[in-house]
Amino acid sequence: MAKHHVAATVNGDAVEFLCETEETLLDVLRDQLGLTGTKEGCSTGDCGACSVTVDGRLVCSCLMLGVEANGKAIGTIEGMAQGEELHPLQRKFLEHAALQCGVCTPGFLVASKALLEKNANPTETEVRYWLAGNLCRCTGYDKIVRAVLDAAAEMRGA
Amino acid sequence: MAHVTLIGNLRQFTGGVAELDVEAASVRQLFTRLGEKFPGLLPHLEQGSAVAIDGQIYQDALFQQIGPDSEVHILPQIAGG
Amino acid sequence: MQEKVKDAPGSEFTWVGTRPVRPDGVDKVTGRARFGADMAMQGQLVGKVLRSPHPHARIRAIDTSAAEKLPGVKAVVTREDFQDQPSEFIPAGEMMINYRDVVRNVMAREKALYEGHAVAAVAATSAAIAKQALKLIKVDYEVLPHVIDVVEAMQPGAPLLHEDMITAGVEPAPKTPSNVAKRIEFGAGDVEAGFKQADVIVERAFTTKPVHQGYIEPHACVASVSEDGQADVWVTTQGHWIVRAHCARLLGWDVGKIRVTSSEIGGGFGGKTVVYLEPLALALAKKSRRPVKMVMTREEVFRASGPTSGAHVRVKIGARKDGRIVAAEAELKYQAGAFAGSPVQPGAMCAYAPYDLENVKVVGYDVVTNRPKVAAYRAPGGPISEFAVESALDELAGKLGMDPIEFRLKNAAKQGTKAAYGPKFGPIGLVETLEAAKSHAHWRTPLGKNQGRGLACGFWFNIGGETSVSLSLNEDGTLSLTAGTPDIGGLRASLCMMAAEELSIPMDKIRVQIGDTGQLGYNFLTGGSRATFSSGMATVEAAREVMKEACKRAAKLWELPEDAVEYKDGAVRPAGPNAGKHAPMSLKEIAGIAGKTGGPIAGYARINAHGAAPSFATHIADVEVDPETGKVTVVRYTAIQDAGRAIHPSYVEGQYQGGVAQGIGWALNEEYIYGADGKLQNPGFLDYRVPVASDLPMIDTVIVEVPNPRHPYGVRGVGETPICPPMAALANAVAAATGVRFTDLPMSPPKVLKALDEARAKGTARL
């Protein structure tokens, strides 16, 4: 079976790749495009470690096929910082020690960014429910939620 | 003389003796003396045991000193997760 | 809310006790940091494992010929590729390992002993081809009856996993084999006499289910072997020297020929202290002459990597009416999975550790069952036994009409108390955590409707162990610190802070890395709550060596005796009567003359870190129980624990919060669900339900500091104790809310609802 040719943008850069029918977007990002910041935790859409955005929408990249990325704009953790400047969420995660092992962190950052783009002033409950699809086994979520609320406040200029 | 207590299953290799006084200035000497008295005990001392000397637990410390009046406990090794 | 209670008030430190950003942080928030599956080697093959579909079966024959012929398949390995290992306990670092069991867990030999047991492995040019190849391997199984329940496995006539298993620890030794690997007993005094003095006795039986460590990152490695036998492994692990030792042993190679590099590790909690894929990847790499990458799927992680034991625990505790405990007994039956080695021994030793008892007896059984071999899980054995004991103590306090904190204070272990497991305690902080709980606002806050409050204490021993750290002074006065315990949750920050504190220099002048097995002397693993303690102790020693050498060089230059020169406030200075005679020299200036005065300056600590001290905790939990659905929600939680000294308080708080979350999951929802067919029904995060962000409240913490006198900064390990109290704290809270005492975990909604309905019928329910 011949591979499929796909053209998309990833973090604003044009990319082209060939992929098998059954390859997920996650497989493509990690194995073909060398973007290993997005992680595979379960491959069944339950842990959120593979969170990316597709045309601005938060998606589990393990649940999407590589071929489905054709013509889409993909956003990954690697595109979050602007040059040397970290995104406020990235800074707040560091300040609040909202990571321990760090493997879930890219997924949480992408998911939190998507939340704040939709709702610039979420309550603690709204943050928790939005992030319920991202599993963390190390932190108990406390410092993650605080970091997101603090970043939201800074981004609002509060 | 150090006062030695054997914790847990180690008593099975001493015919039930759980406490005894031993003349030993180091963990290594202690193991040697105990091994002379109870040969079946020796392999379990050399491997898999921790030694508490006056409350301080030592794992793999052959040359750790034992005082003339020390309280010594021999326990299973502890690891963690 | 995060607070600190200090034994020694005032901050005498510049770095220690502050909250700088961790040095490896930027890489982790940008996706740059590389974990196990993030490595690729040129020309690598994909390795996959064929796993037994049967929980118990004799393997009569394995035919790999069709798989080997499939284009793209470069190597296949089975039991034939691994030499058998004799049954003997060998020290591997500080652990006693029976390699006969290890080789069989890594690759089944005579039998498949659990569903998911590895039977063969292939390396191929793509995942698709590897998976196809697995399907072509023909295994002739003779399916055998299986047993997955610990009590059933102990019965005579139960299906036997190991035909030569004679229970150790029983005198005289049994004549017939069984599934009971070992019986252990700990105790002191005379419990029978003790119970006679009791005015109140509580006796209860508890059951817990196997739960998985649940690390978000699956096992992963890449292995490569050159034609002259030099091997390299990149692996996510808690202990790369342990991986090296196991692989060398299983493959029959020199230890020094294998170099293991630890990737960043995406969670371990004890589950990554053993090998699964690594020996297979090395064997495949050698056979195929190409690097082989192997990554477990989440399903494989659940089916084939160690959970912790499920258990049956019976507890009996008696007290006088003044609240003094006069006798305490426990019987623990822990499941080991397919091979001996459940954590029943440490579980037995910790069960009553927080209490000053004259009469105590704990008996434990290590029982094999047709389930994956258990691996360590955060305070192995402790959460189970401590759940049972702390629940029974709660009931006892209730019967005595005593406040749970007062009851525990009355019986609390202190410095000088003879521990239930033998030796006397040095300085410890249990009482301080109980007092902090008593004065905490949480303890006084009124509860709402359908809510209940519970309290429980917890304990873990903490260990030290072999540690090597190297600290080099670079030409420009910066330093390179190389440690060997993988950074699982902020270690680099703590090491950097301790080094900076010693040297009185800014933290950003020290770059910390975790070295590979070729770069340092032996390092025991990150686990046992030892990394900050042990690598910290070694870092301090290495820093002091650097300062001493710096003084020596200056002394030579200044023509002073060595002891007339001191390192103070970040520079080398003449001391005492010579003070002021020479301008101080900074590390940069010393580094500048290092080559001419003897050579490079470095500290290299190689120690067996002794002096680890236990960490005690007291937790308070508030729950709300939904009377219609039985759902238990944690509405407030406070974790109070003695850290000795918190080097970086945020990461200490993080350990408290993370352990609490895992304990809550263990108490309320997590369990391995097996069918009668011995197969796991929930090998995925959808149905193996770990706590998510919307399940939990903020987790408040209080760091108590009763410094450990044996560590230069007073550090106690903190990582494991936090998972010990939550199960009982929640069970006690649920009992307070509902009037029903739960003794079977998890307290999931259907079970809670059923128990509530039964209690309502009897008129004993509180809601």
Chain C neighbors of A95, CB-CB under 8 A: 21
Q: Do A97 and C490 touch (CB under 8 A)?
A: yes
Report residue C95's pLDDT band, with 50, 70 and 90 as the boundaries. low
Q: Number of Cβ pairs closer than 8 Å across B and C?
A: 106
Q: Do B5 and C378 touch (CB under 8 A)?
A: no
Residue-wise pLDDT for C13-22, tens only, equals 999 999 999 9
Report the C-alpha gap between C722 and C744 in whole angstroms. Answer: 21
How near does any CA of chain C get to the CA of A37, in Å? 4
The predicted model gives A36-45 an average pLDDT of 98
In residues, how long is chain A? Answer: 158
Q: Do C527 and B81 touch (CB under 8 A)?
A: yes
Q: Do B7 and C421 touch (CB under 8 A)?
A: yes
Is the pLDDT at C458 greater than 60? The verdict is yes
How near does any CA of chain C get to the CA of A157, in Å? 22
Give the residue from C70, C162, C183, C75 showing the smallest Cα distance to C120: C75
Residue-wise pLDDT for C241-268, tens only, equals 999 999 999 999 999 999 999 999 999 9
Chain B neighbors of C377, CB-CB under 8 A: 81
| Phi, psi values for residue C622, rounded to 5° | -110, 130
Peptide bond into C172 cis (omega under 30): yes
* pLDDT averaged over every residue in chain C: 96
How large is the C-alpha radius of gyration of chain B? 11
Q: At what angle do helices C278-288 and C240-251 cross, to 10 degrees?
A: 50
Give the β-pairing of C2-6 and C699-705.
Answer: parallel
Report the C-alpha gap between C247 and C241 in whole angstroms. Answer: 10
Tokens read off for A40 = 């595979």
Report the C-alpha gap between C352 and C413 in whole angstroms. Answer: 10
Concatenate the DSSP letters of all residues of C227-267 into one string.
TTS-EEEEE--S-HHHHHHHHHHHHT--GGGEEEEE-B-S-
Is the pLDDT at A158 greater than 90? The verdict is no
Report residue C93's pLDDT band, with 50, 70 and 90 as the boundaries. low
Hunting for tokens 């001191």 — which residue is that?
A: C566
Q: Number of Cβ pairs closer than 8 Å across A and C?
A: 178
In terms of CA atoms, which chain C residue is nearest residue B16?
Answer: C171
Is the pLDDT at B40 greater than 80? The verdict is yes
Peptide bond into C746 cis (omega under 30): yes
Give the residue from A110, A108, A103, A124 showing the smallest Cα distance to A76: A110
Report the C-alpha gap between C238 and C246 in whole angstroms. Answer: 13
To test the contact with chain A by mutation, choose from C18, C24, C28, C686 the residue with the greatest count of A C-beta atoms within 10 A, namely: C28
Q: Do chains A and C touch (3 or more CB pairs under 8 A)?
A: yes
Specify the pLDDT at position C149: 95
Report residue C578's pLDDT band, with 50, 70 and 90 as the boundaries. confident
Q: Nearest 5°: CA angle at C70, between C66 and C75? A: 85
Could you say which of B47, B61, B73 has the minimum Cβ distance to residue C610? B61
Check CB contact of C533 with chain B, cutoff 8 Å. Answer: no
Specify the pLDDT at position C306: 85
Chain B neighbors of C464, CB-CB under 8 A: 59
Q: Produce one character per residue of C133-144: b if its CB has 16 or more CB atoms within 10 Å, e if not.
A: bbebbebebeeb
Model's pTM, two decimal places?
Answer: 0.97
Is the pLDDT at C96 greater than 80? The verdict is no
Hunting for tokens 């429910």 — which residue is that?
A: A129
The predicted model gives C696-705 an average pLDDT of 98
> What single DSSP character describes residue C57?
E
Tokens read off for C105 = 């867990």
> Longest C-alpha distance within chain B, in Å?
37
The predicted model gives C595-624 an average pLDDT of 97
Q: Do chains C and B touch (3 or more CB pairs under 8 A)?
A: yes
Report residue C5's pLDDT band, with 50, 70 and 90 as the boundaries. low
Check CB contact of A115 with chain C, cutoff 8 Å. Answer: no
Report the C-alpha gap between A11 and C199 in whole angstroms. Answer: 71
Subunits with 3+ C-beta pairs closer than 8 A to C = A, B
Interfacial C residues in 568-607 facing B (CB < 8 Å): none
Chain C neighbors of A126, CB-CB under 8 A: none
Specify the pLDDT at position C133: 98
How crowded is the C-beta side of A141, counted as CA atoms within 13 Å?
A: 26
> What single DSSP character describes residue A29?
I
Specify the pLDDT at position C92: 62
Specify the pLDDT at position C693: 98
In terms of CA atoms, which chain A residue is nearest residue C719?
Answer: A138
Tokens read off for C721 = 């104790």
C265: which residues sit within 8 A by CB, 6+ positions away?
A101, C35, C36, C217, C236, C237, C238, C272, C486, C487, C488, C526
Could you say which of C25, C298, C693 has the minimum Cβ distance to residue A132? C693
Hunting for tokens 């339950």 — which residue is that?
A: A46
Could you say which of B9, B56, B57 has the minimum Cβ distance to residue C185? B9
Report the C-alpha gap between C202 and C399 in whole angstroms. Answer: 9
Interfacial C residues in 203-222 facing B (CB < 8 Å): 213
Q: Do C423 and B55 touch (CB under 8 A)?
A: yes
Report residue C295's pLDDT band, with 50, 70 and 90 as the boundaries. very high
Specify the pLDDT at position C386: 98
Tokens read off for C594 = 């290092």
**Alpha carbon of C35 to those of A30, C27, C222, C238, C274: distances in Å?**
12, 11, 11, 12, 17
